Amino acid sequence: MKPSSHPTLLQFMKAQLSALAASGIDLVTTALLFRLAGFSPFWSTVAGAVCGGIVNCVTNYHWTFPGTDRSRRGIAMRYFVVWGGSILLNAWGVKLAVALLPRHPDTTLSELMLARIVVAVLVAVLWNFNLQKQWVYQIKEES
């Protein structure tokens, strides 16, 4: 079975690799701002998501969803809407997860990172992939 015979699976795998790279940037930024700059879990998550989102948008445009007929400006505007929702879901999801921890408000970096990763995976699979594929880049299934 060739990967090209299942474009949705191949795109999903590429999207997850793109998200993994973006998540690396996101998590490093989040950890540094939380640990070194004293940002709250919420604001360090927002800043990390912004940095990771830029990496994700560029990677998806050039590699995950190439060949879209949409203009760069159209993609950027739609990506910003999806990305904004993703940032809010991640930030509020982490805020909720951290609030449920028994050590809250004395959250450790490892607790924050665990919450961040769990929330990020849920948002990536349930929100980002389908909206990016079908609305941002408007990639249609081939018959």
Say whether pLDDT at 12 is over 60. Answer: yes
Sorted by where each begins, the domain ranges of the chain are: 3-136
For residue range 27-42, list pLDDT tens digits in order. Answer: 899 999 999 999 998 8
In the chain, pLDDT over 90 holds for what percent of residues? 28
* Residue of 118, 138, 108, 132 lying closest to 31 (CA atoms): 108
Using CA atoms, how far apart are residues 107 and 42, in angstroms rounded to an integer? 12
Note the pLDDT tens digit of each residue in 79-133: 999 989 988 998 899 989 988 877 767 778 888 888 888 998 898 889 988 898 8
Of residues 11 and 105, more confidence is placed in: 11
Give pLDDT tens digits for 34-77: 999 999 988 998 899 889 988 988 898 889 888 777 788 888 89
Its pTM stands at 0.71
Q: Which residue has the higher pLDDT, 87 or 4?
A: 87
Q: DSSP label at 6?
A: -
From residue 2, alpha-carbon distances to 6, 9, 65 in Å are 8, 11, 18
Which backbone phi and psi does 137 adopt, to 5 degrees? -95, -15
Give CA separation, 119 vs 20, 35, 48, 100, in Å. Answer: 14, 20, 13, 13
| Contact (Cβ atoms closer than 8 angstroms) between residue 139 and residue 50 | no
